[in-house]
Amino acid sequence: MRLRRFNSSIRTLASYRLGLFLALCFILGGTSQDVIAVKIPLYFISIALIADVMTSKKRLPYKGLIAAPIVIGGLLLLLHLVYLIPLPPGLWSGLEGRDIVERGFNSAQIALPFLPLSLTPEKTLYAIFDFLPVIAVFFIAVLAPRQNEIENALKVIIGFAIVAVFLGLFQVLGGSKALYLYDISNFGYPVGFFSNANHQASFLAMILPITLYFALNKLRTDKNGSAISQEQSLICLIASVLIALGIIIAGSLMGYILLALVIFFTLLNLRAKARITFIGLAVFGVILSAVIIDSYFFGNQIESLLSRFTVESSLSRPAMYATTWEATKDFGFWGTGPGSFYNIYVMKENQTALSTFYAPQAHNDYLQTYLEFGLLGVIVILAFLAYYGAAIFTYIKNFSHSERWTGVLLIGILCPVLHSSIDYPLRTIAVAVLLTFYLSLMVTKDA
């Protein structure tokens, strides 16, 4: 009897494999900073999980999977690897933007050795390591999900979002830096397990469509259902309110926009025949609540956030975009290599307008990808956006008989796609694995 209970407990724990790994990624992968020591456990666990899936006799067949996102993800990983291939001195020195490095070797009277395409190969290697958790999540979710593993992963994601909101509240109310996980963080803001409050808002916005789906869809379809289903719906409804509150107090301008869009599109998705006025009032109520809470409790952060786009400063968004764009002109087709942004940016920024703050990323992932990967990176981005746009078009075209869950996933994916135009949420492992999980559910036959 004890052995039977033990085996049952092991099976239950095994069904939370993906959920627990996602939670670990959320905890240890909340920054884009080169904090390698924190991420090392993730890398080793990722390798173990990948090996487990690839050697599993219960691995599902590849047949029936949607190929586009798999191919695009594979190309992006391949691009990272290409930038580490050593090139002959004659070929390497002929590439645009490499002359500054060549002059350094000449000044030191050292012969130019074989060098990789990336100008910062060690950071490119770190970027490749960050792919390991992404690959592990994809392999588990697509190739070898255990019984109830996807469902349990969704439970963990929702539970983790609630924990992140409360941690953010304690960070704001407590005022202690001890509650922040990273030495470089948005201190004074509710960042949760992230180092950046904007990424906390984006992360929560990605999860909100799921909680709203389980809350509103259950209430709509299971009015005469069991007490458990109603109980789950109520929990998800409470979770939705808490997540919305977490987004509002994060003080992120894009967070406010994503919150309104997520609520609008989710209600539209779940209530095909709902009145537009109802949806409009719901969104208006959220925006009004955000403005009131922001004005009375957080010192009008909206005005401060808008100033990042309007005030002339070396760290304003327009200034960073202009500097990054100028840098792209010097490196041509191949770019500078993954992870090289900071090293390149400091050479190009206005030296007369420097401050004690620094720009770790371009705050526009599409522009930064062009700088680091050149035209090949742009092609990969356009390919993904084409796939995503086609998926939305197909869903809308067949809306009357489309699976509502697919719409939920599309709305969740929309958050980092939009946010990446003015920030860099996908450069954190936490947001990257959540996006991968959503895409994994879309590429399977049952999505």
Alpha carbon distance 86, 115 (integer Å): 5
Q: What pLDDT, on the 0 to 100 scale, is given for residue 228? A: 44
In the structure encoding, which two tokens stand for residue 28, read together?
């240890």
Assigned domain for 100 exists: no
**Confidence band of 296 (pLDDT split at 50, 70, 90):** low
Whole-number pLDDT of residue 227: 40
Q: Got the DSSP string for 320-377?
A: HHHHHHHHHTTTTTT-S-TT-HHHHHHHHS-GGG--S---SS-S-HHHHHHHHHHHHH
Which of residues 222 and 382 earns the better pLDDT score? 382
Confidence of residue 370 (pLDDT cuts 50, 70, 90): very high
Angstrom distance (rounded) from CA 28 to CA 182: 10
Q: How many CB atoms sit inside 10 A of residue 67's CB?
A: 11
Question: What Cα–Cα distance (Å) separates residue 439 from each residue in 1, 3, 69, 143, 278?
Answer: 41, 38, 8, 13, 30
Residue 333, domain member (yes or no): no
Q: Is residue 399 part of a domain?
A: yes
User: Does the pLDDT of residue 290 top 80, yes or no?
Assistant: no
Q: How confident is the model at residue 222 (pLDDT cuts 50, 70, 90)?
A: very low
Asked if 424 and 439 touch (Cβ cutoff 8 Å), the reply is: no
What is the token pair recorded at 398? 């067949």
Letter string b/e over residues 354-390, b meaning 16 or more CB atoms within 10 A of that residue's CB: eeeeebbbbbbbbbbbbbbbbebbeebbebbeebbee
Q: Is residue 98 part of a domain?
A: no
341 within some domain: no
Segments forming the whole domain that contains residue 75 = 2-83+118-312+355-443
Structural domains counted in the chain = 1
What are the pLDDT digits (tens) for 422-443? 999 999 999 999 999 999 998 8
Is the model's pLDDT at 319 over the cut of 60?
Answer: yes
Give a yes or no: residue 412 inside a domain.
yes
Tokens 């002059």 belong to: 103
Whether residue 120 is predicted with pLDDT greater than 90 in this model: the reply is yes
What confidence tens digit (pLDDT) does each residue in 5-32 have? 555 566 677 889 999 999 999 999 999 9
Burial class (CB in 10 A: 0-12, 13-18, 19+), 276: exposed
Least confident range from 285-294, 300-309, 385-394, 414-423: namely: 300-309
d(CA 86, CA 89): 9
Q: Is the pLDDT of residue 160 over 90?
A: yes
Q: Is the pLDDT of residue 218 over 80?
A: no
Question: Which has the closest alpha carbon to 73: 419, 347, 433?
Answer: 433
> Is residue 335, in this structure, part of any structural domain at all?
no
Q: Which residue has the higher pLDDT, 11 or 240?
A: 240
Q: Which of 34-38, 234-238, 419-423 shows the lowest mean pLDDT across its residues?
A: 34-38
Residue 215: is its pLDDT beyond 70?
yes
Q: What is the pLDDT of residue 60?
A: 67
Task: Band the pLDDT of 354: cuts 50, 70, 90.
Answer: low
pLDDT, average across residues 120-144: 94
Residue 12: its pLDDT value, please?
74
Q: Specify if 429 maps to a domain.
A: yes
Distance, C-alpha 105 to centroid of its chain: 39
